[in-house]
Amino acid sequence: MSWQFTVGLRAQGKADRIVVHAEDALVAALKVKAERPEATIMYVRRLNRRGDARHPPHTLTGGLNQNRSGPG
């Protein structure tokens, strides 16, 4: 079963968040670290659709997450 996780990271002095589809939080963090080895992982949590609607995170490929349709 796959979940959506928000991974908070810091790279080049800037904080960012990325949404990753993964089996668990560790796998999500490792996927981000594999794509961005210079980044520091600050947190991993399950996607919060209501809270993340105000500040949409990016997907792992770099674009905004387009799979969601507003809060709720």
Q: Provide the whole-model pTM.
A: 0.70
CA distance 71 to 65: 13
Q: 34-70: per-residue pLDDT in tens? A: 999 999 999 999 987 776 666 666 677 655 444 444 4
Tokens of 62: 């770099």
Handedness of CA 59, 23, 36, 43 (dihedral sign): positive
Q: Please report, in angstroms and rounded to a whole number, the separation of the first and last CA atoms in the chain.
A: 22
27 close to 7: Cβ distance less than 8 angstroms: no
Amino acid identity for residue 67 in this structure = N
Q: 23-44: per-residue pLDDT in tens? A: 999 999 999 999 999 999 999 9
